[in-house]
Chain A
């Protein structure tokens, strides 16, 4: 069992959001999404829902960019822009054309650049990619940024998308050798000062996130939910989902296809809400 994060001071979840592919049809009707990839669009949809639930002016995507200037941003993904990478390589091989926009978008990191531009976030920004733990590590990295004093508010997004024709290659570590899941999750994390600026009441506060690199997590106890992953970076989307559902102290275990797991504990009581600022 490896402790990924255990804070001394509370790091609060101010807002959550999740999104799926079908919410992104014709998004490029908006000129600012003209060159956006599917991961960028899904990240945006999840993020926008989270932003909307925050109660200050900072929630709007165009207004008050100045309010978000010193926010931090973490993006997590396991296989990143695989579809765009495939398109770049195939266009190169079949037509001899190296397409600049495709290459620019092909980095795992390109969604972070896109969100940073769209929202005017110019605090610290990190892209992480840790296979099945890409979602959990994104949260842990955001907590690191806040704990390290680099920012008071950190937006954390994790996305993985299916690529048609590559389901077997992507799903080779999953039961049945196929992958069917994809999605986007977003958490907006903040310390006490950040919560005050957001004018938000916290949903929960993280206690610890730990990773089991070896198979087997033992028997779940009461108040402990165990779920299986259906895509690599889904840790964040699952945590976002259960944070909205749960009302009391919760432990969530996310079982990965290879038997390893992540365990996340948080406090989600009315006591926590009362003690939080604002």
Chain B
């Protein structure tokens, strides 16, 4: 089986704007969430005051200049581009790419795309406050593929493009698909990326489903009362192992399933998640007992945590490997969650640490899985990462230790 190497990563999150910053915050237990006094909800915002310097760095970078010959403009709507391409340049540096090689594909994950920039204008247009022409201009970025245009229209990349928008599982699905693309020889390399910005639609929408907590979330805790939405951008470079100059970790395989149970709540038995995990383990050709750490979706919602914990108990028995969720640090970045959490997992693995579950005090009595509360020094070799999404989607990937530069 062709080995797939993770050779570069980049991220912009409420917790920090590099994988190193993410890890440092996680090790010190410093979260990046804030309670919005107006809404009474705890959310994770990125630091917008850094955008000018991020933009300037792209515009002054040799490859950034070839991607954006006229520079990225200062329009507020360029935020997704600034975030995405900051992540790309950081990952390329790590992977020792000075340009994107031939035979590289892209799989991009997002649920809302540019919604934050046109949702108010849609309402204004419907109310007759702005013209059809003005709304048309505002809506020009509606295609979810929009942020990838500089790469494809500018002929910087020659491989296939897929945009996955399977709700919160999209990022992990993108990684599973990218693994397959490389393993089966469809491409030699693949960029997996995503952007997700907070919007009125998502904040008020999730709140209408009584899913958001006023406080930082407490995954698997008996007193948990909801999730914290956050925004983020993340990017992972995957390469066929023999081609990679840098090796951060290996992506060993992935699996997917559907619950076919409910439109928004997961099947509490966890059976759907079990099937995704079994598919991932089979795809990676490894037995469950080689997993050292299970990094879950663990949003802090009543339903999610019960279902995931049940799945872990089913697969791993009465004594599971340490099970944790880091959403108390960085919140739930919807489609991008699988990407930034994978980045955090491999940073921790290379730091010989299993990250604990911030804000978790006492497990819900229905939960039998072994929830890891504190950070733990451990020589991690294999991580199982799971992600769930609306519509009953489940995705799981296996990450394996691998460190060094060829």
Q: Do chains A and B touch in the complex (CB under 8 A)?
A: yes
Decide if B256 touches A140 in the complex (CB within 8 Å).
no
Stretch in A89-97, A191-199, A219-227, A245-253 with 4+ CB within 8 Å of B: A89-97
Residue B160 interfacial (CB < 8 Å): yes
Q: A107-B167, A109-B167, A125-B393 are in contact. Are A165 and B126 (CB under 8 A)?
A: yes
| Chain A 121-135 interface 0/1 with B at a Cβ cutoff of 8 Å (1 = within) | 111111111110100
Stretch in A21-29, A98-106, A182-190 with 4+ CB within 8 Å of B: A98-106
Decide if A141 touches B162 in the complex (CB within 8 Å).
yes
- CB-CB nearest in chain B for A87: B126
How big is the A interface, by class? 35 or more
Q: A109-B166, A148-B180 are in contact. Are A4 and B260 (CB under 8 A)?
A: no
Decide if A114 touches B208 in the complex (CB within 8 Å).
no
Q: Given the complex of chains A and B, what is the CA–CA distance between A79 and B145 in angstroms?
A: 11
CB neighbours (8 Å) of A110 from chain B are 263, 390-391
Decide if B264 touches A104 in the complex (CB within 8 Å).
yes
Q: Given the complex of chains A and B, what is the CA–CA distance between A89 and B120 in angstroms?
A: 8
Q: Given the complex of chains A and B, what is the CA–CA distance between A90 and B123 in angstroms?
A: 6
CB neighbours (8 Å) of A144 from chain B are 177, 180-181, 186
CB neighbours (8 Å) of B163 from chain A are 128-130, 137
| Chain A 1-31 interface 0/1 with B at a Cβ cutoff of 8 Å (1 = within) | 0111100000000000000000000000000
CB neighbours (8 Å) of A211 from chain B are 160-161
Decide if B256 touches A113 in the complex (CB within 8 Å).
no
Decide if B126 touches A107 in the complex (CB within 8 Å).
no
How big is the B interface, by class? 35 or more
Q: Given the complex of chains A and B, what is the CA–CA distance between A79 and B200 in angstroms?
A: 18
CB neighbours (8 Å) of B389 from chain A are 109
Decide if B390 touches A126 in the complex (CB within 8 Å).
no
Q: A90-B123, A122-B257, A130-B161 are in contact. Are A112 and B139 (CB under 8 A)?
A: no
Stretch in B3-11, B151-159, B302-310, B314-322 with 4+ CB within 8 Å of A: B151-159
Decide if A2 touches B158 in the complex (CB within 8 Å).
yes
Q: Given the complex of chains A and B, what is the CA–CA distance between A4 and B152 in angstroms?
A: 14
Residue A169 interfacial (CB < 8 Å): yes
Decide if B260 touches A122 in the complex (CB within 8 Å).
yes
Of the listed residues B122, B165, B264, B390, the one surrounded by the most CB atoms of chain A closer than 10 A to its CB is: B165
Decide if A126 touches B256 in the complex (CB within 8 Å).
yes
- CB-CB nearest in chain A for B140: A172
Decide if A122 touches B209 in the complex (CB within 8 Å).
no
CB neighbours (8 Å) of A129 from chain B are 143-145, 163, 165
Select one of B127, B159, B170, B263 contacting A104, CB under 8 A: B263
Decide if A113 touches B200 in the complex (CB within 8 Å).
no
Q: A100-B208, A122-B275 are in contact. Are A107 and B184 (CB under 8 A)?
A: no
Q: A92-B200, A116-B392, A125-B256 are in contact. Are A103 and B208 (CB under 8 A)?
A: yes
Q: Given the complex of chains A and B, what is the CA–CA distance between A103 and B212 in angstroms?
A: 14
CB neighbours (8 Å) of A165 from chain B are 126
- CB-CB nearest in chain A for B334: A107
CB neighbours (8 Å) of B142 from chain A are 79, 169
Q: Given the complex of chains A and B, what is the CA–CA distance between A144 and B178 in angstroms?
A: 10
CB neighbours (8 Å) of A99 from chain B are 208
Decide if A169 touches B136 in the complex (CB within 8 Å).
yes
CB neighbours (8 Å) of B279 from chain A are 124, 150
Q: Given the complex of chains A and B, what is the CA–CA distance between A172 and B393 in angstroms?
A: 33
Q: How far is the CB of A234 from chain B (nearest CB, A)?
A: 15
Q: How far is the CB of A266 from chain B (nearest CB, A)?
A: 18
CB neighbours (8 Å) of A104 from chain B are 209, 263-264, 390
CB neighbours (8 Å) of A133 from chain B are 161
CB neighbours (8 Å) of B153 from chain A are 213
Of the listed residues B115, B139, B163, B392, the one surrounded by the most CB atoms of chain A closer than 10 A to its CB is: B163
Q: How far is the CB of B40 from chain A (nearest CB, A)?
A: 14
Q: How far is the CB of B129 from chain A (nearest CB, A)?
A: 11
Q: Given the complex of chains A and B, what is the CA–CA distance between A150 and B146 in angstroms?
A: 30
| Chain B 196-236 interface 0/1 with A at a Cβ cutoff of 8 Å (1 = within) | 00001100111111000000000000000000000000000
Select one of A2, A89, A116, A172 contacting B258, CB under 8 A: A116
CB neighbours (8 Å) of B170 from chain A are 127
| B window 93-148: CB within 8 A of A | 111, 115, 119, 122-123, 126-127, 132-133, 135-136, 139-140, 142-145
Q: How far is the CB of A190 from chain B (nearest CB, A)?
A: 18
Residue A32 interfacial (CB < 8 Å): no
Residue B272 interfacial (CB < 8 Å): yes
CB neighbours (8 Å) of B260 from chain A are 69, 116-117, 119-122
- CB-CB nearest in chain A for B259: A122
Q: Given the complex of chains A and B, what is the CA–CA distance between A149 and B200 in angstroms?
A: 40
- 4 A-B pairs closest in CB distance: A113-B391, A103-B205, A124-B256, A98-B208
* 14 extra A-B contacts, CB within 8 A, seeds A113-B393, A127-B391: A92-B204, A107-B390, A109-B111, A110-B390, A116-B392, A117-B262, A123-B257, A125-B258, A130-B161, A140-B162, A144-B186, A150-B279, A168-B132, A211-B160
Q: Which residues of A contact B (CB under 8 A)?
A: 2-5, 69, 73, 78-80, 85-86, 88-90, 92-94, 98-100, 103-104, 106-110, 112-114, 116-117, 119-131, 133, 137, 140-141, 144, 147-150, 165-166, 168-170, 172, 177, 211, 213-214, 232
Q: Which residues of B contact A (CB under 8 A)?
A: 111, 115, 119, 122-123, 126-127, 132-133, 135-136, 139-140, 142-145, 152-153, 155, 158-167, 170, 173, 177, 180-181, 184, 186, 200-201, 204-209, 255-264, 272, 275, 279, 283, 389-393
Of the A-B pairs whose beta carbons lie under 8 Å apart in the complex, a sample of 18, sorted by A's number, is: A86-B126, A90-B126, A98-B204, A103-B204, A107-B111, A109-B167, A116-B258, A116-B260, A117-B262, A122-B259, A122-B392, A126-B164, A130-B144, A131-B145, A140-B160, A144-B180, A169-B135, A172-B136
